[in-house]
């Protein structure tokens, strides 16, 4: 079978015109080089060199030389193209907690490209607890999660604080407003963040009741129906018959941070990307 090594030996010998120099050029000793040349000549059924006082190409060797050079050049270019393709097709598996506002998602996904990092970003949305477990088993490279949460050895960037708004039914008397439950996601999705939210409300003397909703759209529907209030970081979320006020008394900011596994294979790349996302988070949190 004709191999790349056969062509390398042939071209080296044709250009060096010396067995010792050709062997040194291809990184072998002279006996394997001579053996490789004999195999090539046997495969082609022709004699490629005259071995007299020197080493000279035969007519058949002269015909083969440009084709051998072209074949080796094509193989080199093919390898280079493969390296470029692999570098350009590096995939970042990014997880986002459902609490991440829609207007922030695009900025996070585009952060690597804006920084000139050649990669493809695959995005999944899942609760914080699920994202952390997916990072721990290597199914995600990094994730944007709510804070606080138990990391269990994972690495995390700085926390970005995003302002929130309280959505309540329009026209409700203050007493009725205080009786309405807060629409929240299930506690098991992010227990520490859930407890901080409830404890902050309770610290102001508020009797805290909650109703679990699968997402903010469902929470918005309950608010519109006069059955709940909703705290959201999405300033675009609203509907007719709903009042909006800044969540400042008490302050209920959405706390987000980037998490990754610094012990996993490829953690250096994940850490570099995490820094880009953290910069994006902090910049957007600052307004």
- In contact, 108 and 144? CB cutoff 8 Å: yes
Residues 82 and 148 in one domain: no
Indicate the SS3 state at residue 282: helix
Tell me, yes or no, whether 48 and 69 share the same domain.
yes
Q: What is the DSSP string of 21-53?
A: HHHHHHTS-HHHHHHHHHHHHHHHTS--EEESS
Instruction: Examine the domain organization and report whether 125 and 262 are in the same domain.
Output: yes
pLDDT in tens, 129-159: 999 999 999 999 999 999 999 999 999 999 9
Q: Which domain holds residue 170?
A: 164-252
Kindly calculate the radius of gyration of the chain based on its CA atoms and give it in whole angstroms. Answer: 33
Based on the structure, what is the number of domains in the chain?
3
42 lies in the same domain as 170: no
Pair 154, 26 in one domain:
no
Q: At residue 266, does pLDDT exceed 80? A: no
Domain match, 235 and 178 both: yes
Percent of the chain with pLDDT over 70: 94
Looking at the chain, the whole-number percentage of residues with pLDDT higher than 90 is: 55
Q: What is the DSSP string of 133-176?
A: HHHHTTS-SEEEEESS---TT-EE-PPEEE--EEEEETT--HHH
Check whether the bond before 148 is cis (ω within 30° of 0): yes
Task: Give the pLDDT confidence score for residue 219 in this predicted structure.
Answer: 95
CATH code of residue 239:
3.40.190.10
pLDDT in tens, 39-59: 999 989 999 998 776 788 999
Q: Which CATH number is 78's domain given?
A: 1.10.10.10
Mark whether 226 and 179 lie in a shared domain.
Answer: yes
Residue where one domain finishes, among candidates 31, 56, 87: 87
Query: Angle CA(239)–CA(286)–CA(144) in degrees, nearest 5?
Result: 75
Q: How confident is the model at residue 176 (pLDDT cuts 50, 70, 90)?
A: low
pLDDT band for 177, please (50, 70, 90 cuts): low
Do 112 and 169 sit in the same domain of this protein?
A: no
pLDDT score at 162: 96
Same domain, 175 and 234: yes
Same domain, 147 and 68: no
145 and 281 co-located in one domain: yes
């Amino acid at each position: 079978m004709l191999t790349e090594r056969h062509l390398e030996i042939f071209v080296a010998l044709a250009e060096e015109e010396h067995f010792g120099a050709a062997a040194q050029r291809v990184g072998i000793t002279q006996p394997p080089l001579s053996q490789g040349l004999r195999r090539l000549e046997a495969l082609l059924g022709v004699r490629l060199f005259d071995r007299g006082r020197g080493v000279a190409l035969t007519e058949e060797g002269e015909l083969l030389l440009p084709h051998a050079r072209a074949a080796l050049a094509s193989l080199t270019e093919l390898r280079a193209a493969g390296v470029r393709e692999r570098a350009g097709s590096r995939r970042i598996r990014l997880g986002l907690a459902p609490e991440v506002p829609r207007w922030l998602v695009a900025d996070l996904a585009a952060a690597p490209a804006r920084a000139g990092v050649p990669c493809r970003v695959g995005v999944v949305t899942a609760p914080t607890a699920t994202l952390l477990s997916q990072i721990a088993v290597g199914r995600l490279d990094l994730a944007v999660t709510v804070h606080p949460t138990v990391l269990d050895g994972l690495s995390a960037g700085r926390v970005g604080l995003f302002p929130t708004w309280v959505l309540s039914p329009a026209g409700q008397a203050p007493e009725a407003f205080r009786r309405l439950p807060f629409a929240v996601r299930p506690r098991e999705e992010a227990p520490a963040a859930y407890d901080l939210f409830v404890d902050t409300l309770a610290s102001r003397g508020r009797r805290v009741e909650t109703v679990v909703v699968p997402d903010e759209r469902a929470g918005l529907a309950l608010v519109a129906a006069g059955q709940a209030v909703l705290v959201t970081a999405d300033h675009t979320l609203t509907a007719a018959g709903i009042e909006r006020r800044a969540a400042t008394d008490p302050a209920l900011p959405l706390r987000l941070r980037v998490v990754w596994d610094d012990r996993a294979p490829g953690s250096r790349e994940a850490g570099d990307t995490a820094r880009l996302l953290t910069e994006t988070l902090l910049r957007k949190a600052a307004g």
